[in-house]
Structure 1
Amino acid sequence: MDRFRRSLIGYYNYYCITDNTHNVNNFKDKIEKLLFKWLNRRSQRKSFKWDKFSLFLNKYPLPSPRIKVNIYDLRKEISYIL
């Protein structure tokens, strides 16, 4: 989970810019579904139901995306420099 969290943080650092938060939130939702699917492949029986999986996510939460770069602020900084 630690490596997985670090990968998500790296993805967020690269893609979380202004007006892209909707796409990154959709990405996080898909990642949660894939993690659920992956954890259920550990045995022939399903290991998790969705409610048990949400308890797992409460214990090991995935990082939430936040805007890292506001492109509108960058325009203001460039206009001050020029």
Structure 2
Amino acid sequence: MKRKTSRKKLQGKLKESKEWIKNNRNKDIHMIMDRFKRSLVGYYNYYCITDNTQSVHHFRNKIQYLLFKWLNRRSQRKSFTWDKFNLFLHKYPLPSPRVKVNIYDLRKKIGYIL
């Protein structure tokens, strides 16, 4: 059986992130990126299990799109093209998801204990 993040939970977290960046887009860029780094690390720690990596990558891509969209609205001119935004992400990288819990290894360990 494959595990996957609930659509409701994913949409709720994206909506919360959207509202936060919408209200705080005029803040310092270091503060914005620090908040999203911490948010992503927490999300990865909770949802990054063996079969859920595709859903977690999807969440990260949506967060990148939200950053691109709302950071472009900081002024009347567009601040970023996708190329410039990728350079920006190279300077302020978002953490990459890694599997935190391998559920298949847990089954082996529990089997040895029993």
Same fold (TM over 0.5): yes
Deviation at 1:41, TM superposition (A): 1.0
Deviation >6 Å, runs of 4+: none
- Equivalent residue for 1:42, pick from 71, 74, 85: 74
Q: Which runs of 5+ in 2 are unaligned?
A: 1-32
C-alpha distance in structure 2 between counterparts of 1:54 and 1:18, whole Å:
28
Indicate the residue corresponding to 1:5 in structure 2.
37
Q: Deviations over 1:34-63 (max 9, x none)?
A: 110010110121111111111100000110
Alignment root-mean-square deviation, CA = 0.7
Residue identity in the other structure for 2:110: I
Indicate the residue corresponding to 1:28 in structure 2.
60
Percent identity of equivalent pairs: 80
C-alpha distance in structure 1 between counterparts of 2:52 and 2:63, whole Å:
17
C-alpha distance in structure 2 between counterparts of 1:73 and 1:29, whole Å:
28
- Equivalent residue for 2:50, pick from 18, 26, 47: 18
Q: Deviations over 1:2-29 (max 9, x none)?
A: 1210110000000000011011111111
Residue identity in the other structure for 1:68: K
Q: What count of residue pairs does the alignment treat as equivalent?
A: 82
TM-score by length of 2: 0.70
Secondary structure of 1:31's aligned partner: helix
TM-score by length of 1: 0.95
C-alpha distance in structure 2 between counterparts of 1:41 and 1:14, whole Å:
31
Indicate the residue corresponding to 2:8 in structure 1.
none
The structure, 1 or 2, with the larger RCO (C-alpha pairs under 8 Å, 6+ apart) is 1
- Equivalent residue for 1:51, pick from 61, 83, 88: 83
